[in-house]
Amino acid sequence: QKEVEQNSGPLSVPEGAIASLNCTYSDRVSQSFFWYRQYSGKSPELIMSIYSNGDKEDGRFTAQLNKASQYVSLLIRDSQPSDSATYLCAVNEDSNYQLIWGAGTKLIIKP
């Protein structure tokens, strides 16, 4: 059973601090990794994708991938109250036509 695990939270972070979200996955052949943000009552929105080991930065967001440790993380710098949402990690292996989803981490940014 392929699994993606995330701490459900809530993770509470002060405004302006760095929020760190973590995700582990069970399938070593996974090749594509995604972070989605979902506001309450809304649909998930893709915010970052990463395919190679190392860091990928996009504005205040940095995704980090370590395939040897089967670990992917998302850092949000200068956290804002508008970052308060549930963050979903998803993993894909090309031989399977679906993404495997974590249950999500609820992030709360406190002003």
Partner 1 sequence: KAGVTQTPRYLIKTRGQQVTLSCSPISGHRSVSWYQQTPGQGLQFLFEYFSETQRNKGNFPGRFSGRQFSNSRSEMNVSTLELGDSALYLCASSNPGLVNYEQYFGPGTRLTVT
Residues engaged in binding partner 1 (CB under 8 A): 31-32, 34, 42-46, 49, 51, 88, 90, 92, 94, 96-99, 101-104
Give the nearest distance from C-beta 34 to partner 1 in angstroms.
7
Q: CA-based Rg of the chain, rounded to a whole angstrom? A: 13
CB of 103 to partner 1, least distance (A): 4
CB of 77 to partner 1, least distance (A): 23
Residues in Cβ contact with 91 at an 8 Å cutoff, skipping those fewer than 6 apart = 2, 4, 23, 25, 27, 30, 32, 33, 34, 72, 99, 100
Q: Which lies closer to partner 1 via its Cβ, residue 41 or residue 111? A: 41
Minimum CB distance to partner 1 smaller for 79 or for 88: 88
Contacts of 42 (CB under 8 A, 6+ apart): none
> To the nearest whole angstrom, how small is the minimum distance from the Cβ of residue 69 to partner 1?
21
Q: Are 100 and 6 in contact (CB under 8 A)?
A: no
